[in-house]
Every structure is written in C-alpha cells, then in structure tokens.
Chain A
Amino acid sequence: MEPKTKQFNQGAALAIRDEKAQKSLLGLYHGFHAARLRAADATPNWEELRDHARAIKAHTVEHLDYYLAQVEANVAKAGGKVFFAADAAEANKYVVDLAKARGVKVVIKSKSMVSEEMGLNHQFEAAGIEPVETDLGEYVIQLAEETPYHIVAPAIHKSRQDVSELFHRKLGSAPTDKITDLGREARRQLRQKFIQADMGITGANFVVAETGTVVIVTNEGNGRMCTSMPRIHVAITGMEKLVPSMKDLGTFLRLLIRSATGQRITSYVTAVTGPRRSNDEDGPEEFHLVIVDNGRSRLLANPELRESLYCIRCGACLNACPVYRKVGGHAYGWVYPGPIGAIVSPVLTGLGDAKDLPYASSLCGACREACPVRINIPRMLLVLRRELTEGTAYPGQRRVALAERMAMRGYRMAFQGRMFLGLATATGRVVQRPLVRKGRIRRMPPPLSGWTRYRTFPALPKHSFRSRWKRGL
C-alpha cells in the first residue's frame, strides 16, 4: 500500500469534522475498550499473564533466527513450503506467480494486514486474477475501495446505512436497515466465490514454531473456509508473529481475544499445519507460508524500538487512544493506525514523511496501559521524536522546523540561567499588557494562536512563587 503518512493533518481534520465517524469512534470507548476492561477484570492473574506474554515475546524476538528456521523445518515436515520475503515486492511476486502457475482465477482472502501492506489485491487485479475479501469488514472496505480503519474492525467507521447504500450501489441489492439482511446478502455473494476460488489467502495471528502451525482467530468462520475449501492455501504473515510452543499459544489466545473484543473466546480459532494429509478427507493440496520482513528488520536492529515487534495486533491501544478516537484510522496514512501505527509506519515506510505520527500524541500513556504485552509505546514515540530532531538513525528523515528548534533553545537558555529567566519574565509582563483582559489572554499571535483557538491563557502574575517564598511564606 502506498503510504500517505504525509497527509496526517488533512486526514485528521476531515475525521474531526465528520460527526458519523466521531460517533463510531466514541463507540470504541464504550464498546471494545470497556469490554476489554471487564474481561481483564474477570480473568484471574491477568497482570501475570501480561508479564508472561511479554517475556515470551521478548525471548522469541531475541532468538528470531532460531525460531524462523524451526518454523521452516516444521512446515516442510508437514508437507508445506515456507517462503521468506525480504519486502512487499518479493512477497507479491511469489504469491501472484504461484497463482498464475496453478491457473487460479479467483482468490478468496481472510483478513491479513500484511497483504494490505503489500497491496496484494492490486497485484492480483493487474494479473487478471480476482481477489475477494471474505472477512465481512474487509469485504465492505474492498467494495468501498478504501483502506482499513481499524486493525480488528476494518469497517468500524461505516454505519449499517452506509453498508446498505454500498451494497445497493455495487451489488444491486435492495436497501435495508437490517444487519441480518446485509449479512445474508454478503453471504449470497461470497458463497459463489468460495466455490469458484482455487486459492485461499489468510493471515496468521500466530505461527507456532515447534509444530509449524498457523493459527487464525475469527468470529465469522470465513477464514476457516479460506484454509479448507480452495486447492491452495497461502498464509501470509509478518516475521514477528512467531510463538515457540503450543503452550505459549494458550497464553496469547487468552490475551489477544480479551484485549481485542472482550470476548473470552472467538467463534472460530483455526489451527492449520501443512496441507491435507493422505488420510484427510478434504483440505488444500498445497500449503505455503509467506513470512514477510518488509522493514521489520529495521525495528529488530534498533534496541530502542525492538519491542514494537511484540505486537499481537489486538487493537487495544487504538481503542484506548484519545487521539485515535478523534482522528480515526485513515489519518495515519498506512495500514496500521493508532499508537502502534505511529511507531511502525514511520520505520517501515520512512520517518521523514511520517514525522507527524510520533508527534501527534499527548503522551498520555493510555496505549501502554491497555497493551496486553505492555509495549511501551510512549517511550518509542519519544525515541522517534528524538530521531526527528537530533538523530541520525534513519536516512531521509526531515528535521523539525527551525523555529521550533530556536524556541526550544530559548526555553533551555531561559531556565538554565536564573538571571535570564528573570529578564524573560519581566519582558513577558510588559509584552502581555495589551493582550490581557481581566487576568486572561484571549488572543495570541501565531504559532500560539493554536492555543487561543480553544482556550484562553492566564496572564503572568505580578510575583513569581520564588519571590513570594523569598519574602517569607
């Protein structure tokens, strides 16, 4: 997917003015967010579970080379094939070439964020192959020709009226305000595709290294159909999705599902190891696992950002984030929105263009509080900010504006020398005079006008605390 991280501010402004979007975003707080808190509350040892999961991820990421080799060997043992793709282009080529070689005309897809990264659907279309999203949310997004709004609920910004209109326009179905009717229509459309398709593509919530098993977690069951109906199953995943053992998987399923939707278990948890065996009645003839790097090595190589690879894509940080709940999923301009997106997108797509992402945060820490694997997102936002102002870690990064630089220097000098501060305050008391009405400043010149658009500002008082202390308290 072509990154549009540069247009963060435009996207944010659109969302803030969009009442419908604001309503669904508020719904995330009362919906998923509240449900997660209730589920966590009802889970004994929730905090220990988080610690444990973090430790497993830390271990796995530190020994990623070992576990990747283990996955490759175990998938092969089960009769499947692993392909390591250095970037999106390599991954696309492998999957599209495979489809062409096998004469595939229709591909059914279950939810895969990595395939969004790759822009895989466009590559299929260019090759004359029809990709069909079967996750209901993704199906809506595909019909609307948009990108996902949320990691877990890609069409969360669409109301049932929106979907009804969309179906009417694209599929010719009768307008309705019943969700069941919409579901039925989608099912009618998708059934055909399930029957026609020769390739099924899924993501992987987890890949279990000791068995070479791909695990996907869904509520609709279409994902399972993608793994079982077509001749060929291709699972595409980022290289960080590994867990060492089946025992670890239990820990992560408990955390992922509760953190994502507040459920204790999803309707479907599907575990696939290789293609159909000789004594299986059905299942795919071929199984491929495409493990994608696409910039993740850069996260791995940086000890200050490495923990971003612990992410299990539960979406909890999005639901918890008051900024995401204002600017929505499209403003972030790439596949991963919200707090974790603000870390991952800049490093995967280029920090220079994505410089708004690390800065568009009040550093409130709600993401870290919510994250099941305790990823310290605010800390990494600070690191990326440091890289943007004075770092050299990433090529092509754009430096922060000179005016801000000068302002920061001025601030530092003022507070480093006491005398200078006294002078600055004295000057401030004079300069503010024409602006002050009844102890408040209502309008300030740019860039401070941003402040007075929404708030007034207190006037500097006659005496500082320091001078009052000196005179005796």
Chain B
Amino acid sequence: MASPSDSPVRASLFATCIIDQLYPEVGESAVRVLRRLGAELDFPEAQTCCGQPAFNSGFWSEAKPLARRFLETFSGGNRYIVIPSGSCASMVRVFYQELFHDELALLGKAQALAPRVYEFSEFVVDVLGATERVAQAAKAPGRSKATYHEACHLRRELGAKTQARKLLKALPGVELVEMEQSEVCCGFGGTFAVKYADISGAMLQDKVKYIKATGADTVVACDSSCLMHIGGGLDKQGVNVRPLHLAQVLDQAMG
C-alpha cells in the first residue's frame, strides 16, 4: 500500500476501446483521479482492444491476435496495469488464461501478467489504499443522490464486490441509495444486446425501472459498456438520470 510519502505507484493505463473511442472523458477522469492520488501513469501507445467481443462470440481465432498484441504491449516491466472496466480487466486477468489454455508460451505470459492487472476501483482501494484520501479530497460542494449498478464481471469474475461502494460512501456530497436487484445484469452482454435484443431489452427495462424507483439523479458503475447500455435505455425512455463512471464521480467530487 502506498501513502503520499512513498515513491509513486507506477501504473500503465489500458483505456479500453470503448473509452478510447466513445467515452474519452471517462479516461480523462480516471487519469486525473489516479494522479491526484499519487500514481504515476503511462499510456502504452500500441494498445487497442483486449479482444473480448470476439472471444465472447466464439471467435477465439479472431480474439487471439488482439490478446497477443495486448500481452506484447504490456508484458515488459513490473508496472501495475489499471483498467477502468471490470469486464476488460476480467478478459485480461481471467479469460486470457482460457483463451491460451493450450498455447503454453502465451499462457505463461498471461499468467505472469495477471497479478499486475487491476480494475480502477480495486486499484484505488486495494493498491493505493486511498479510500481515506478520497474522502479528504472530496470537497466539492453540491449534493447528489446516486445509485450503484454492480457490473457482472467486476463482481463475479474479479470478485470485487465492495470497493466501489466503499468509495461512494466515502464521498460526503454523495448519498448512496441502493436499487433493487443492483447485482442483476443490465442485459448488455456485447453482441447479445443486438442478437437477442428483445431479451436484453426486457432485462434493461427492469434495470431502468429499479433505477427510477430510487429517485437517484445519477447511476454509477465501473464499466462504460454497461453505462452505455443503461444510459441508452434511460435516454430512450426519457428518464432524467445521469449515467456516470465511478472515475467521473470521484473526479467531480475531488475537483
């Protein structure tokens, strides 16, 4: 664990393709928050996508070149790898070992890299040990009522069930109101949302209903993909709740 007096914790940021392409502001928030908490960041230029969309759809041979590219880009050195997405972090930390289960050299690389990989909220709480410091830095005025959606891979693949809530509760300006079924999938699931749109849509309707019922003005999650889905549903139904990544909430609070 690092405190401000230690030498800075060094980490490489993997921005994820969805943040890079669609939600650059989330990446910016993550950078500001992590730096304010004393992390020294770099951004390996060669990064693209972790390969999860192909892997999840059964196209392992299309996923492999992307996973190999990731391993090549991030394998050198001993920096932490921070990923502001539970899902992409799961792909790298957990599923690369499935993808390469029968390719020993790459499997070894994936195994060696896995312990360095942290999702954003895990990194802030478990590596930086910064919950207290977040609370102290969170001086921004204004009150917001937020509800938290527990993203599936963050909870069930990474087992990170407490970190994000801990941080939200540390913010004096944020009142956390739990929604019903916060641990239930919002229905995104990548191509599932398009191929089985009606099933996915029915799951989303429930999520929107439960969010609405809390009276919150903000819905927070640690995955921009879930937020794209939930936010898209809120917008479609004209529900006035802001979808925000945890990094954005921390950034605003500490601003």
Contacts and interface: CB of A to CB of B under 8 A. Distances in A.
B198 A408 contact: no
A271 interface: no
B152 A363 contact: yes
B109 interface: no
Interface string B163-206: 00000000000000000010111011111111111111111110
A463 B27 CA distance: 12
Contact of B22 (A323, A450, A460, A468): A460
Interface in B201-218: 201-205
Given A389-B59, A451-B193, A323 B199 contact: yes
Contacts of B105: none
Interface in B1-52: 15, 17, 19-24, 27-28, 31-32, 43, 45-46, 48-49, 51
Interface string B220-242: 00000000110111011000000
A13 B198 contact: yes
A440 B236 CA distance: 10
Contacts of A369: 156
B187 A322 contact: yes
Interface residues of A, number: 62
B62 interface: yes
B181 A468 contact: no
B58 to A, nearest CB: 3
Given A389-B59, A400-B58, A364 B152 contact: yes
A416 B48 contact: yes
Nearest to A26: B206
Nearest to B153: A365
B53 interface: yes
B156 A368 contact: yes
A465 B19 contact: yes
A162 B97 CA distance: 50
Contact of B98 (A382, A404, A453): A382
Contact of A447 (B152, B190, B194): B194
Contact of B194 (A389, A451, A473): A451
Contacts of A12: 196, 198-199
A400 B185 CA distance: 25
Contacts of B231: 455, 458
Given A450-B193, A454-B197, A382 B58 contact: yes
B54 interface: yes
Given A386-B60, A460-B21, A322 B201 contact: no
Nearest to A463: B24
Contacts of A409: 62
A390 B58 contact: yes
Contacts of B51: 412, 415
Interface stretch (A88-96, A116-124, A354-362): A354-362
Nearest to A13: B198
B201 A473 contact: no
Interface string A140-178: 000000000000000000000000000000000000000
A425 interface: yes
- Which interface residue of A379, A387, A405, A454 has the most chain B CB atoms within 10 A? A454
B55 to A, nearest CB: 7
B57 interface: yes
Given A363-B189, A412-B51, A415-B66, 13 more contacts: A12-B196, A322-B185, A323-B203, A362-B190, A382-B55, A385-B56, A386-B60, A411-B53, A415-B48, A450-B195, A465-B20, A465-B27, A469-B27
Query: A-B pairs with the 9 shortest C-beta distances?
Result: A362-B189, A455-B232, A385-B58, A450-B197, A454-B201, A365-B156, A364-B185, A465-B24, A389-B58
21 contacts: A327-B199, A364-B189, A365-B156, A366-B183, A368-B156, A382-B55, A382-B98, A388-B58, A389-B58, A389-B59, A390-B59, A400-B57, A440-B235, A442-B236, A454-B236, A455-B232, A457-B232, A466-B20, A468-B24, A468-B27, A468-B28
